[in-house]
Amino acid sequence: MLKQRFSIRQVVEMTGLEESEIRFYEKAFGEFLQFTRMAGPDRDFTPDQIDILKRIKELTHKRGFGIEEVRRELKNISRSVPSLRGPGFPPAKTPDLARVIAVTSGKGGVGKTTVTVNLAVALAQRGKRVAIFDADLGLANVHILMGVRPRFNLMHVIQDGFSLSDALVEGPLGIKLISGGQGVRELANLTDEQRRNVLRQMDKLEREVDILLVDTGAGISENVLRFATFADEVIVVTTSNVAATVDAYSIIKILREMDPQGKIGLLCNMAKSMYHAKNVFNRLDTAARKYLDYALGDLGYIVEDEYVLTANQARKPLLLSFPHAPSARCILQVADTVLNAKVFKNAEKQSSFQDIMGALKRTLVGAAAL
């Protein structure tokens, strides 16, 4: 069966690129695009080639890559994505890629970090190899709720030449933690070699975990949105508080505009009951369907009880302190929903592990554009 093919005009509409840009990319990245049948001015494009052009556009327009940086990135991706493997690349076994899930919120104080820590524990109890990247740079506090004390963080890796293994700390059930630490904003003048060193080390983590949870900051700052849009899926945490739901809708709207292929799920925390939680979800889902033409994923809810606060004060995850608490049972149900590929799995995007590392690099060097 022949692959469907598209004219240059159709490709312009599908990618948002100018025709002149497409022609330039044909010449600059021909070894990846495999234009074997594209002779003459009326040559056409396959779906795989269009996917590659979209990827190149993302790297150049959104992440500010130069030609050589794009070429290096495509070579890395070609090892795991068959459609990007040009004639010069030998067949490669596709590795299991880490799944990147960002946990974010429109408003602070909704329990986002508590959700992240206990979701990690629940996933680890389900047999998954889990890591948490505390991306609330400069205000990292995941380690506090996990009851661990990292001696080093990313600042030491960058400034003092420590290895990533020195900065990684292992928490309960083997959960790995990368702490953003304090003062990361000061790391604005890295050399190319320093950046490459960080990425080389962090890429190793991809082979060691099944799921990377990214605990972002709250709000709609550029830093938060960078990490959220590069994730495979995004969990937006809210409460029944009016301000929290309004801010949750705001961040959902922005994420949809920035990444139409993103998968967004809503989690209602500190719920008085299932009824209150469903009411929150229905209001936000109705608004998203009406104004954004998007159906939110219903990830469930976590009831409000005294066990959460007690566990946090003891610096021990709720699921390990009070495994039979009502809130703990809710978190286990949320974990099962997250692992259900039919409910909350993004089939539109490839694994974003390398993208999240690229976002980290640009955050560390203070880049203004991705």
User: Please, what is the average pLDDT of the chain?
Assistant: 79
Instruction: Say yes or no to pLDDT of 330 above 50.
Output: yes
Among candidate residues 231, 200, 202, the one with its CA nearest the CA of residue 215: 231
Residues 205 and 309 placed together within one structural domain of the fold: yes
Highest mean pLDDT among 60-69, 145-154, 184-193, 357-366: 145-154
Residue 168 — pLDDT band, cuts 50, 70, 90?
Answer: confident
Highest mean pLDDT among 77-91, 319-333, 334-348: 319-333
The answer as to whether 93 is a domain residue is: no
CA pair distance 287, 247, nearest whole angstrom: 13
Residues 167 and 295 placed together within one structural domain of the fold: yes
Residues 193 and 120 placed together within one structural domain of the fold: yes
Mean pLDDT of 8-20: 86
The answer as to whether 347 is a domain residue is: yes
In this predicted model, which residue has the larger pLDDT, 284 or 3? 284
Residue 190 — pLDDT band, cuts 50, 70, 90?
Answer: very low
CA pair distance 67, 60, nearest whole angstrom: 8
The answer as to whether 26 is a domain residue is: yes
Residues 167 and 52 placed together within one structural domain of the fold: no
Instruction: Say yes or no to pLDDT of 173 above 70.
Output: yes
Q: Phi first, then psi: what are they for 212, rounded to 5°?
A: -110, 115
Mean pLDDT of 144-155: 81
CB-CB neighbours of 124 under 10 Å:
21
Residues 268 and 169 placed together within one structural domain of the fold: yes
In this predicted model, which residue has the larger pLDDT, 283 or 218? 283
Instruction: Say yes or no to pLDDT of 163 above 70.
Output: yes
Order of strands across the sheet with 176-178? 169-170, 176-178, 130-134, 211-218, 99-105, 233-238, 263-271, 297-303
CA pair distance 288, 211, nearest whole angstrom: 27
Residues 347 and 225 placed together within one structural domain of the fold: yes
The answer as to whether 115 is a domain residue is: yes
DSSP code, position 6:
B
CA pair distance 285, 218, nearest whole angstrom: 20
Residue at which a domain ends, from 84, 118, 134: 84
Residues 143 and 29 placed together within one structural domain of the fold: no
**Site of tokens 């961040």:** 251
pLDDT at position 36 is 39
Residues 40 and 117 placed together within one structural domain of the fold: no
Residues 55 and 142 placed together within one structural domain of the fold: no
Q: For position 178, which CATH number holds?
A: 3.40.50.300
Q: What is the CA radius of gyration of the chain?
A: 22
The answer as to whether 370 is a domain residue is: no
Q: What is the pLDDT of residues 24-35, one digit of tens each?
A: 888 888 777 764
Mean pLDDT of 57-64: 76
In this predicted model, which residue has the larger pLDDT, 210 or 368? 210
pLDDT at position 91 is 38
Q: What's the token pair of residue 241?
A: 């508080």
Reported as type and span, the H/E element at residue 51 is helix 47-57
User: Are the C-beta atoms of 354 and 203 separated by less than 8 Å?
Assistant: yes
Mean pLDDT of 2-27: 82
Q: What's the token pair of residue 189?
A: 């003048």
Mean pLDDT of 149-177: 80
The answer as to whether 252 is a domain residue is: yes
The answer as to whether 94 is a domain residue is: no
Question: Which contacts of 326-333 are long-range, i.e. CB under 8 A and separated by 24 or more positions?
Answer: 327/302, 327/303, 328/118, 330/300, 330/301, 330/302, 330/303, 331/115, 331/118, 331/119, 331/122, 331/302, 332/122, 332/125, 333/300
Instruction: Say yes or no to pLDDT of 229 above 70.
Output: yes
Residue at which a domain ends, from 54, 84, 114: 84
| 179: containing domain | 99-364
The answer as to whether 3 is a domain residue is: no
Residues 63 and 103 placed together within one structural domain of the fold: no
Among candidate residues 279, 299, 260, 317, the one with its CA nearest the CA of residue 124: 317
Q: What is the pLDDT of residues 239-269, one digit of tens each?
A: 999 999 999 999 999 999 888 888 999 999 9
Mean pLDDT of 35-45: 53
Number of domains in the chain: 2
Residues 80 and 112 placed together within one structural domain of the fold: no
In this predicted model, which residue has the larger pLDDT, 350 or 143? 143
Residues 149 and 226 placed together within one structural domain of the fold: yes
Q: What is the pLDDT of residues 84-125, one digit of tens each?
A: 444 434 333 344 567 889 999 988 889 999 999 999 999 999
pLDDT at position 50 is 84
